[in-house]
Amino acid sequence: MDLNSLFVLQFVMFAEMLAGYLLCRFHVLKPSDRSVLSKLVVNLLLPCSIIASFQIEMNRQILTNFIGILLISTGIQILCTLIARFAFNRYAHERKAVLQFSTVCSNAGFLGNAVAQGVYGDMGLLYGQIYLIPLRIVMWSAGVAYFEKKGDTRAVIRSILTHPCIIALEIGLVIMIFQIPVPSAAGSLMSGLGRSSTPLIMLFLGMVMGESASAVCLPEIPGHLL
């Protein structure tokens, strides 16, 4: 990707984020709408995008890259877990738990997907899902343990295995490894739904910024003007 294309991508993503911010500040969208967007992206749009990205021919180079990315991601998560274990002992439990969770669980599973796909296309999204495997495991194990004294191992395993993006990853791997043909209509449907995930993610982030902004609230737009 050349610099001009990268600039255009950044402009579009920030413009989408600004749209979400303004819609929230003008009360066109409510805080409850943010939950709907999040559920839609995580449970439908991202899984469709992930499955669509795995519809490529499997080869040794891709397998090698998978292993390398998985090892690097695992190493990063181990390092972050060690930092979280020792760096925040001077804080009270409530604040310590938040700092520990923030250290081991980044927002790569949400924003990272949009950036990876926007910059590197479907191949970037494919590699990104491999990178996110250790992150999601840590999020549902150590991440949950920071806030709960006793964790249910079965519940943790179930949360990991039933996460929509993990399920999509498993389906995508089966399709790619066994080269299962996907009907063109189904492939087009998943690709179309997947492409809408990035704009909605940016709108979501803009809404988060709009809700947390300390500026004076703007007046609500009358219904007849919407």
Q: Where are the domains of the chain?
A: 3-225
What does the pLDDT read at residue 213? 64
Tell me how long the chain is: 226
User: Measured between alpha carbons, how far is 86 from 98 in angstroms, rounded to an integer?
Assistant: 14
Is the CB of residue 206 less than 8 Å from the CB of residue 20?
yes
User: Measured between alpha carbons, how far is 68 from 22 in angstroms, rounded to an integer?
Assistant: 41
CA atoms within 13 A on the CB side of 183: 3
Written as tens digits, the pLDDT of the chain (226 aa) is 567 777 888 888 899 999 999 988 888 888 778 888 888 988 999 899 889 888 888 888 988 999 999 999 999 999 999 999 898 989 988 898 889 998 998 877 777 777 887 778 878 888 988 898 898 888 878 787 887 766 667 777 787 788 888 898 889 889 988 888 889 899 899 988 888 888 888 888 888 888 876 444 444 434 333 3
Local structure of 42: helix, strand or coil: helix
Amino acid, res. 30: K
Q: Please state the φ and ψ torsions of residue 90, each to the nearest 5 degrees.
A: -80, -5
Q: For residue 122, how far is the Cα from the chain centroid? A: 15
